[in-house]
Structures are given as C-alpha cells and as structure tokens.
C-alpha cells in the first residue's frame, strides 16, 4: 500500500523540494521515455524510506498532466478527475503486475481484483470520445486530441486506450517490473540488455549483489 509522503520522508530526501506539486512534476520527469500509461503507473514510487503516492492532490494531477501532455491542462482538473486517474493508475498497476508476474510486496496495487482492473480501464477508455487533431504551431506539427470532454477527461481516456495497445496485440510491449531492491516502478524493456528501470537502480542492484557476496548473513536481504 502506498503511504502518504510524510514530512519526515521529505526531510530525508534533501534533493527534493518541500512543495508537493514540484515534487510531482520532478517525478513525472523520471523515466520520461516510458509510454504515458507506464508513467501513470509510476506515480507510485519508492525510495529506501518508503513507498509514495505522487497523485494525492488535484495539484499533483495538474502538475503530472502538464509534464506528460504539455499544453493540454485547461481547464484545470478537479477532484473527480483525481479520483478517476487514481483508479486508472491502480487498475494499470494491477494489470501490469499480472503481465509481469510481479511479486514485489511493496509494489502491490491498491486494486486487488484483475476483473475490476479490466472494468476500470474499459470505463476510463469509454469516458471521453475523442479524435486526433493536427495542430500547426511555430512551424511545427503537433498531435492533439479534440472532443466534447474536458482536457483531463480526454487525457484519461487516451491513456486507457493507449494502455490497451501496450498490453495486447501487435503493439504489445515487453513490460517489466524493475527487480532492483525496493523499486516499485515498471518499464518497457526496449533493449535486450536492459534489466532495470534506470541506471540508478542497476547500480543499486549491483551494489546489493556485491554486498551479499561479501557479507552473507541471514539479515542481509
């Protein structure tokens, strides 16, 4: 289960801002090359002190949306949007755990039933019919989504639909649960030699292996 970000945890992370929105925006830039549905999964993150939820407030959601879909955050999301994004996030983490045989206790989704997770993804996908639109800005072409729903609702549906493509059919990706000690993130294995979500996790995992080899006691796990 995700715990709230405590003041103590923030104090223990001197590189982090004490402003939760800024922390969220920073975290949204972690693993920026992952598909957006995976980035939504990774709003549950962890460090050595605990597991955190980066989507706890409407401000968190707005910062996250601004980071993953720049220029599409009007009107601002509301409490209902936050609840729907959290439900979709938990559903995607449940399905990701299923796909990746993820046994990491710290990474377990708040949504335990795969059937409920499937229903939640379907509900989100159907919420906001939208269609792609080209935009021409500053001499460059950009893809946007148009539709009757709000920007946040369209983003939610778009992420749900994208997640279906990542999990099934010809566009299915090789989703992995990062096996580094304590990590709760997911990533797409886009290179045969990629084992970890990040270089930092790879370094920590190698250090842990080295420590295990040289300090082999029952307490060292």
Residues contributing to the site for Zn ion (CB under 5 A): 178, 180, 183, 185, 197, 201
Say how far apart CA 16 and CA 70 lie, in whole Å. Answer: 22
Q: Which is nearer to Zn ion, 30 or 110 (CB)?
A: 30
Say how far apart CA 153 and CA 84 lie, in whole Å. Answer: 9
Supply the minimum distance, in Å, between the C-beta of residue 178 and Zn ion.
3
Supply the minimum distance, in Å, between the C-beta of residue 86 and Zn ion.
22
Cα-based distances in Å from 178 to 59, 100, 112: 28, 10, 20
Structure tokens at 152: 């946040």
Say how far apart CA 78 and CA 101 lie, in whole Å. Answer: 34
Supply the minimum distance, in Å, between the C-beta of residue 179 and Zn ion.
8
Supply the minimum distance, in Å, between the C-beta of residue 164 and Zn ion.
25
Q: Which residues contact 162 (CB under 8 A, 6 or more apart)?
A: 35, 36, 37
Token pair 């923030």 in the structure block, residue: 10
Q: Which is nearer to Zn ion, 4 or 106 (CB)?
A: 106
Token pair 């307490």 in the structure block, residue: 219
Q: Which is nearer to Zn ion, 62 or 104 (CB)?
A: 104
Q: Which is nearer to Zn ion, 74 or 101 (CB)?
A: 101
Q: Which is nearer to Zn ion, 47 or 164 (CB)?
A: 47
Supply the minimum distance, in Å, between the C-beta of residue 94 and Zn ion.
19
Say how far apart CA 83 and CA 162 lie, in whole Å. Answer: 19
Of 49, 46, 88, residue with least CA distance to 65: 88
Let me know: does 10 contact 26? Beta carbons within 8 Å. no
Supply the minimum distance, in Å, between the C-beta of residue 30 and Zn ion.
10
Q: Which is nearer to Zn ion, 29 or 135 (CB)?
A: 29
* Sign of the torsion formed by the C-alpha atoms of 212, 215, 218 and 221: negative
């Amino acid at each position: 289960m995700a715990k709230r970000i405590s003041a103590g945890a923030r104090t223990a992370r001197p590189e982090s801002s004490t402003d939760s929105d800024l922390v969220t925006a920073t975290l949204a830039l972690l693993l920026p090359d992952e598909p957006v549905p995976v980035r939504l999964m990774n709003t549950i993150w962890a460090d050595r002190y605990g597991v955190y939820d980066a989507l706890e407030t409407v401000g968190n959601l707005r910062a996250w949306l601004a980071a993953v879909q720049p220029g599409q955050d009007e009107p601002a999301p509301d409490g209902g949007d936050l609840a729907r994004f959290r439900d979709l996030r938990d559903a995607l983490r449940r399905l990701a755990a299923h796909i990746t045989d993820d046994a990491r206790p710290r990474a377990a989704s708040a949504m335990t039933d795969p059937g409920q997770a499937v229903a939640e993804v379907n509900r989100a996908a159907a919420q906001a019919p939208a269609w792609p639109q080209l935009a021409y800005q500053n001499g460059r072409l950009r893809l946007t989504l148009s539709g009757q729903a709000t920007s946040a609702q369209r983003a939610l549906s778009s992420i749900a639909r994208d997640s279906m493509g990542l999990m099934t059919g010809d566009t299915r990706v090789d989703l992995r649960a990062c096996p580094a000690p304590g990590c709760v993130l997911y990533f797409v294995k886009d290179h045969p030699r990629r084992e970890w979500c990040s270089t930092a996790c790879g370094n920590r995992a190698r250090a842990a292996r080295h420590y295990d080899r040289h300090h082999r006691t029952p307490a060292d796990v």
